[in-house]
Chains A and B, each alone.
Chain A
Amino acid sequence: MDRRNFLKYSGLASGTLALAGISSAGFVAGRNKDGNTGFGRTPYGKDQFFNRKPFLVEQPTYMKVGTPERIGYLDHLFRRNAELRYHIFSYGREGFQKVRDEGPEKLPEPLKSYYIDNPSAFEEFFRAMDRANEQKANWEKYKDRYMLAEAWSAAHASPLGAPGAFPREPRGNPEESDFSGVNEDSLKLKSPQHGSRLIKKISHLFGATLTGITKIKKEWVYQGALRGRGRGDFEVPGHWKYAIVIAIPHEWESFYANPTYGTSHDAYSMLRFISGKLETFIKKIGYSARSHIPPTSYDLILPPLGIDAGLGEQGRHGILITPELGANTRLAAVSTDMPLEPDKPVDLGIRKFCNKCKICAEECPGKAISFAGSPYKTVRGYKRWSIDQDKCYTVWNSVATSQPRGCRICLAVCPYSRKNNWIHTIAREADPRDPTGLVSSAMLSMQKNFFSYPGGKEYLPPPEGNNKTYGKPPDWLRTEEWFDI
């Protein structure tokens, strides 16, 4: 072919390719979910989802080693602390020292039995209260530096806990409150599969990042107190058949800047709105519904339900780890009798990875996370990772915040808590497909040698530490960027 013909045919081919390229670009622009303002890549863009199909299993990855038992409500740190505080305040100002001096033997039941069985928890509570007093005194020093972080957290906390908070707390027996407002003229659902698909679509539209559905096992229902009815043992209501488990992340930039710049309230307030709206939606299509929502309005334990629903697996730090959000996974659930098709659990190798990793244990300022080589503790019939909640709470009362509003360092440093970009997606996709464990070892080696971590106590205020954060706080949380300090 001579030069003239070469240029001619090359031009024709290039023009055809350019048109095909422009056409493809136009197709992508039309199809791309990022084009949906407010519902783009982060909240529910298609490319954020991990394909769980190859990893579905019949049995969840937690290990059943005995007879499962229901969890007593005092096993919940905040309920236990609230009850102990209530008892202390009943004595007036002297209550704090009096109860501390008398020890657990003089407490009313069921607190007495709990703290006699767990004496270190009793001591740790008072240590946390001591630290809370120091925290309050220290706040004067830090309030300017963290003004924006405090405002950010307070803004998210403002819809929580007030008498008019949404959704409303249940009143009376579940057989009344869960059916209150249910549409009695509803239509027949085509099938449970239709039910699940509809509920998932709706929950995503309400803002849920992940939604999974599972049957409710009775061991995941609290015992000893029921919202709306109060204290006392109860049988699991027959209409609590399924749990719709929803998950969203904390805002990522503030999340990496834990403990002082982050907050739990951002995810909490969003979860309340999502599950509250889902509860109303389900009632309006003819079925009972009850929200189980943060910070403390639960009758169900959510992480194991999330595992059953195939969202992820339990991590060393006790938190549910999902492939999309890592440990930045905050949960709520709606229990219902709507006929639904449950999801299957997954085995993504997360438990095995946690056996090796231990970064969260190394970074925990309170040494509340175990360094054991595998899940070591048998809790209510299951061998599992279990953190020392009371030591964790002491850290909440120690970091430079106005009040104990959490730490979340274990979540931020978790290697699974990474952005949805190509480099982390390669790791996410390769690791669960590698039966040899070489990929996870290589990833972990890079994680430990390439990334830098401040280390345990550094997250605490002086003299123990230097108020370090894991990641750099974003400019919108750095007061000095916007105000004269």
Chain B
Amino acid sequence: MFPYSTMLQPIFWMVIGLLTGVFVIGLRYWLKDLNISMNWWKWVLLSFWIVLLAVTLCGSFTLMGENEWTAGYRFLLFFGAVITISGAGLWMILRRVNP
């Protein structure tokens, strides 16, 4: 089954990697246009938040894929709230703290 089929699995992850790379390039331009200056710990925080977002979405859909629809929705709701609140906090830090 896609993306875990013999042919598509390696291609799938290569495309994901490519997209991630393009995303990071785009993100840099976005941050520049918004006058947000970045340093190493800001990048670490932002990367951690993005990974958390990806894991939340992936976890929720994994549970839904297992036919645990209720668990999937509740997982998304709970961790979605955590992601939203922590995202707002991170946004304030990125904007206000200038290295």
A449 touches B66 (CB 8 A): no
| Cα–Cα distance between A29 and B13 once the two chains are bound (Å) | 13
A446 touches B75 (CB 8 A): yes
Residue of B nearest to A26 (CB): B10
Residue of B nearest to A24 (CB): B10
Q: How far is the CB of A124 from chain B (nearest CB, A)?
A: 34
Which of A256, A450, A471, A472 interacts with B78 by CB under 8 Å?
A450
**How many interface residues does A have (CB within 8 Å)?**
23
B71 touches A452 (CB 8 A): yes
Known A-B contacts A423-B59, A446-B75; the reply to A256 vs B67 at CB < 8 A is yes
A-B contacts counted at CB < 8 A amount to 45
Chain A to chain B contacts (Cβ below 8 Å), 29 pairs: A21-B10, A21-B14, A21-B17, A24-B10, A25-B9, A25-B14, A26-B10, A28-B9, A29-B10, A35-B6, A418-B66, A419-B66, A421-B66, A422-B58, A422-B62, A423-B59, A423-B62, A423-B63, A446-B75, A449-B74, A450-B70, A450-B71, A450-B75, A450-B78, A451-B68, A451-B70, A452-B70, A452-B71, A471-B67
Which B residues lie within 8 Å of A418 (CB)? Answer: 66
| Cα–Cα distance between A6 and B68 once the two chains are bound (Å) | 49
| Residue B11, interface by CB 8 Å | yes
| Cα–Cα distance between A24 and B13 once the two chains are bound (Å) | 11
Q: How far is the CB of A20 from chain B (nearest CB, A)?
A: 11
* Apart from the given pairs A25-B9, A421-B62, A423-B63, 6 other A-B contacts in the complex at a CB distance below 8 Å: A26-B10, A29-B6, A422-B62, A423-B58, A451-B71, A452-B70
Q: How far is the CB of A471 from chain B (nearest CB, A)?
A: 6
| Cα–Cα distance between A451 and B78 once the two chains are bound (Å) | 13
Q: How far is the CB of A290 from chain B (nearest CB, A)?
A: 39
Which A residues lie within 8 Å of B66 (CB)? Answer: 418-419, 421
| Cα–Cα distance between A452 and B68 once the two chains are bound (Å) | 8
Which A residues lie within 8 Å of B58 (CB)? Answer: 422-423
B63 touches A25 (CB 8 A): no
Contact flags B56-89 to A (C-beta < 8 A → 1, else 0): 0011001100111011001100100000000000
A450 touches B74 (CB 8 A): yes
Which B residues lie within 8 Å of A26 (CB)? Answer: 10
| Cα–Cα distance between A28 and B11 once the two chains are bound (Å) | 12
| Cα–Cα distance between A34 and B79 once the two chains are bound (Å) | 33
| Cα–Cα distance between A28 and B9 once the two chains are bound (Å) | 10
Q: How far is the CB of A28 from chain B (nearest CB, A)?
A: 6
Which B residues lie within 8 Å of A256 (CB)? Answer: 67
Which B residues lie within 8 Å of A450 (CB)? Answer: 63, 70-71, 74-75, 78
A25 touches B10 (CB 8 A): yes
| Cα–Cα distance between A406 and B67 once the two chains are bound (Å) | 23
Return the 8 tightest CB-CB contacts between A and B, nearest first: A25-B10, A450-B74, A450-B71, A452-B70, A451-B71, A423-B62, A472-B67, A21-B14
Which A residues lie within 8 Å of B9 (CB)? Answer: 25, 28
Q: How far is the CB of A12 from chain B (nearest CB, A)?
A: 16
Which A residues lie within 8 Å of B59 (CB)? Answer: 423
Which B residues lie within 8 Å of A34 (CB)? Answer: 4, 6
Which A residues lie within 8 Å of B63 (CB)? Answer: 423, 450
Which B residues lie within 8 Å of A21 (CB)? Answer: 10, 14, 17
Contact flags B1-25 to A (C-beta < 8 A → 1, else 0): 0001010011100100100000000
| Cα–Cα distance between A446 and B78 once the two chains are bound (Å) | 10
Which A residues lie within 8 Å of B68 (CB)? Answer: 451
Residue of B nearest to A21 (CB): B14
Residue of B nearest to A256 (CB): B67
| Cα–Cα distance between A449 and B14 once the two chains are bound (Å) | 37
Which A residues lie within 8 Å of B11 (CB)? Answer: 25
Residue of B nearest to A419 (CB): B66
| Cα–Cα distance between A472 and B68 once the two chains are bound (Å) | 9
Residue of B nearest to A471 (CB): B67
Q: How far is the CB of A430 from chain B (nearest CB, A)?
A: 14
Contact flags A8-43 to B (C-beta < 8 A → 1, else 0): 000000000010011011101100001100000000
| Cα–Cα distance between A22 and B17 once the two chains are bound (Å) | 13
Residue of A nearest to B13 (CB): A25
| Cα–Cα distance between A432 and B58 once the two chains are bound (Å) | 24
Q: How far is the CB of A470 from chain B (nearest CB, A)?
A: 10
| Cα–Cα distance between A386 and B73 once the two chains are bound (Å) | 36
Q: How far is the CB of A332 from chain B (nearest CB, A)?
A: 28
Which B residues lie within 8 Å of A25 (CB)? Answer: 9-11, 14
| Cα–Cα distance between A34 and B4 once the two chains are bound (Å) | 10
| Cα–Cα distance between A361 and B30 once the two chains are bound (Å) | 54
| Cα–Cα distance between A472 and B70 once the two chains are bound (Å) | 12
Which A residues lie within 8 Å of B70 (CB)? Answer: 450-452
Which B residues lie within 8 Å of A18 (CB)? Answer: 14
Which B residues lie within 8 Å of A422 (CB)? Answer: 58, 62
Which B residues lie within 8 Å of A449 (CB)? Answer: 74
For B6, B9, B10, B58, the residue with the greatest tally of chain A CB atoms inside 10 Å of its CB is B10
| Cα–Cα distance between A472 and B67 once the two chains are bound (Å) | 7
